[in-house]
Amino acid sequence: MRNSRRFPLRQRSQLLLLFAYGFAATLAVFYGLVVRQDLIVTFFAFHILVCMGIPLVHGWLEGNLLRHWKAAWGRFEPQGARLGLLLGAILMVGLAAGLWLLIRAEGRADSIRGILQHWGLEGNWVWLFCLYLVAVNSLLEELMWRGFVLQRLQLVASRPAAVLLSSFFYSLYHLVIGSGLFGLVWGIFITLLVFASGVLWGWMKGLFPEVYPTWFSHLLADAGIALIVLWIFRS
């Protein structure tokens, strides 16, 4: 009887901890882009402290860090990789086309370039930024949201609820980015699209537990964003 009472409390504690991790990501991006207005600070706070630091420390405290790391990479599934590349290509084209239409408004491309420059992105390292965005950011976000967070949410909630919650926290900090670049209305719309992408990748994670399919899809989606960033700085 005592164990049955204790288990729900443990579940609630685990859920509250995961909520704290989710909000920490948004706070890191808010601190970097709104408070410090610096991309390097943002990358350090979000990628190093949140996407890498939280899973590593949590896994080390649990004592199963190596097991989860091996499970995340797992076995390469060609079928999953093909699905990830196909969906990623669709997302890449859709994102690039949508952003292209969005920045076609008079003065918007110059405005976005000015904001990015204010955050520290200069033309002499925009290629490095885009490479980092495509290869590193996509991987760290997948390991964090579809790996660490989603897997642990499934221990305390149903799978649909875990996918929706992980997608919510994944999309939340994009509201800060989208609003900063395009204004609140477009920021909300972009955040909803990111949430939908998170649900899609959460569904894929159920079919193919390894990181490759969702990472390949996310990588190509970020490539669509990178193409627009390159165009903005070359126009």
Of the pLDDT bands very low, low, confident and very high (cuts 50, 70, 90), residue 50 is: very high
pLDDT at 234: 87
Instruction: State pTM to two decimals.
Output: 0.93
Task: Quote the CA–CA distance of 59 and 68 in Å, as a whole number.
Answer: 8
pLDDT digits (tens, 9 = 90+) for 126-160: 999 999 999 999 999 999 999 999 999 999 999 99
pLDDT at 73: 82
Instruction: Decide: helix, strand or coil at residue 91.
Output: helix
pLDDT at 6: 45
Question: Taking Cα atoms as reference points, which of 111, 80, 98 lies closest to residue 182?
Answer: 111
Of the pLDDT bands very low, low, confident and very high (cuts 50, 70, 90), residue 4 is: very low
| Residue bearing the bigger pLDDT, 68 or 216 | 216
Neighbours of 111 (CB within 10 A): 16
Domain residue ranges in the chain: 2-234
Task: Quote the CA–CA distance of 33 and 177 in Å, as a whole number.
Answer: 8
End-to-end CA distance of the chain: 69
